[in-house]
Structure 1
Amino acid sequence: MEISVQMYSVREALATDVQGTVRRLVDLGLTHAEPFNLLEHRDELVRARQSFPIDFPSAHQSFLGDGDFTAVLDAARAVGVQYLVDPSSDPEIWKDAGTVRALADTLNQRAEVAAEAGIRVGYHNHAAELVAQLEGRSALEVFADALDPQVILEVDTYWAAVGGADVPTLLGRLGDRVQLVHLKDGDLTEDASSQLPLGAGAMPLVDTLEAASGVAYGVIEFDDYAGDMFEGIAASIEHLRAVL
């Protein structure tokens, strides 16, 4: 597993200085990062790849709606993205097996187009996909079974736990479908401001990492953090390297 970081964590710094923020991530020892709002940040990300020893193998960008998917793929190619991940959806979708499978159909259609550009598409969960139980299992698992084999999942392990999942067991059931995991820690409540550096909260991190040992990238993320964000990321990197 390679270590990456979701750049949403440092969104406040990015808002004023993209290149300086990327430099700070590189100075922490990171060589991979996961951008968000790919269309908005495309040109700055291309510049960052040229200026620093960092790449962007995965990225978050909404693409399951009615937007211009060709423009999204063009941005992904320009930035060097291998895994293009839709970050969220309406929580109401996950309450019905029919709407879950319809969303999977849309993702499968996008996957066919993206494959021509050499890009794999995927989906990132929050808690709703695990809270909802359909046909005797989580809605996320119903969704996964309806996906084309080339579609990947990025399991947000923290939000899966908040949603009630036994995360190592979930990862085992989803298998090779999972190519990316979001790694974060905290008190396992919906209050994002209570999130903590890896190893400082209630997540079963060691068991989670063991279950996720075959994934391509472990992506450190804070949705929010009461302390200094770069210090929190640095502490997470240090802990993650110690237990991997």
Structure 2
Amino acid sequence: MSTPISVQLYTVRDALAADRDAVLRRLAGIGYAAVEPFDPTADPEGFRRVADDLGLRVSATHAYALLTEDTTAVLDAIATVGTDLAIVPGGIPHEEFTTTDGLRRTADLLNGLAERAAGHGVRIGYHNHWWEIEPRIDGRHALEALADLLAPEVFLEIDTYWAAVGGADVPALLGRLAGRVVALHVKDGPVVKGEPHTAVGAGAMPVPAVLAAAPDAWRVVELDECAGDVFAALADSHAYLTSLEAR
């Protein structure tokens, strides 16, 4: 794996709001060499300056703002924070993933964003939760049916935990979506809705098999709600993933 382990900054959103620079220093001290922001429009110049000073790469950024704000301004912010990968992490009604017509509308939305983003040198991706996995369209997970409707340049960031919660055999799903998957959200826990997450390697997810199914994808640790101290869990997650690389 040539890319470093990244961390989705939503994991530390409360601490980040209190002192962004201190949080980034702490993550770099743990050993993370990349980060994935969740709002590129929040002081992109300042964020980039601190990240560069710490040697942190920006693996990608989530960008809900692409659905609600001026597209050009958001794309400029994305370029400023230092990535060419922008991910829509939700914001589309869950019902759109329950019918073929809904999937077509979703694909049209994402393909349209991708066309506009291409002029800024940015690629558009989509990040799943469980509601794109649970519905079945012609016997397949809705996310798979959506992938068939997406323009070739639109990529996927597979949240491996939510895919499991939605009922997927995650390594098999990754194998079927291999050409689309650029990044993975790597998280762990009991694989139950509403329960907090644990450090990666301390829960029920088959993490080694998941990573083996997408060996070239960015590995992005995310803990939406953490059982225990979040920074300790992030340190344990980094140590576990690093140990897997050494095998």
TM-score, with normalisation over the residues of structure 1?
0.95
Query: Does the 8 Å contact 1:64/1:107 carry over to 2?
Result: no
Q: How many Å apart are 1:66 and its aligned residue?
A: 4.4
1:151 corresponds to: 154
How many positions carry a matched residue from both structures?
Answer: 242
Q: Letter of the aligned partner of 1:143 in structure 2?
A: L
Match of 1:220 in 2: 221
The residue identity in structure 1 corresponding to 2:70 is D
1:129 maps to which of 127, 132, 136 = 132
Q: Structure 2: which 5+ runs fail to align?
A: none
Contact 1:130 1:140 survives alignment (8 Å): yes
Give the letter for the 2:198 counterpart.
L
User: 1 CA distance for matches of 2:108 and 2:125?
Assistant: 12
Q: Secondary structure at the match of 1:38?
A: coil
1:140 matched residue in structure 2: 143
Q: Does 1:7 align with 2:9?
A: yes
2 CA distance for matches of 1:32 and 1:213? 17
What displacement does 1:62 show?
1.3
Say yes or no: does 1:209 pair with 2:211: yes
**What is the letter of the counterpart of residue 231 of structure 2?**
F
Cα distance between partner residues in 2 of 1:36 and 1:43: 15
Alpha-carbon distance change, 93 to 41 in structure 1, aligned in 2, over 3 angstroms: farther
Q: CA RMSD in A?
A: 1.3
* Structure 1, unpaired ranges of 5+: none
Describe the superposition over 1:145-200 as per-residue Cα deviations: whole angstroms up to 9, x where unpaired: 1011111100000000000000000000001200000000000001242x111111
* SS of residue in 2 equivalent to 1:122: strand
**1:29 to 1:141, Cα distance in 2 relative to 1, 3 A:** same
The AA in structure 2 aligned to 1:95 is: T
The residue type equivalent to 1:141 in the other structure is E
**1:85 maps to which residue?**
87
Q: Distance in 2 between matches of 1:10 and 1:66?
A: 24
Per-residue deviation, residues 14-69 of structure 1 (Å, max 9, x unmatched): 01101111000110111100000221242431231343211213000115534211
Alignment partner for residue 169 of structure 1, among 168, 172, 175? 172
Q: Offset at 1:116?
A: 1.7
Match of 1:160 among 147, 160, 163: 163
- Asked if the contact 1:196–1:225 (Cα under 8 Å) also holds between the matched residues in 2, the reply is yes
1:101 is aligned to 104
Is 2:42 the partner of 1:37? no
Q: Which residue pairs with 1:28 in the alignment?
A: 30
Runs of 4+ in structure 1 deviating by more than 6 angstroms, as ranges, are: none
1:116-155, Cα deviation, whole Å (9 max, x unpaired): 2111110000000000111111110011010111111000
TM-score (norm 2): 0.94
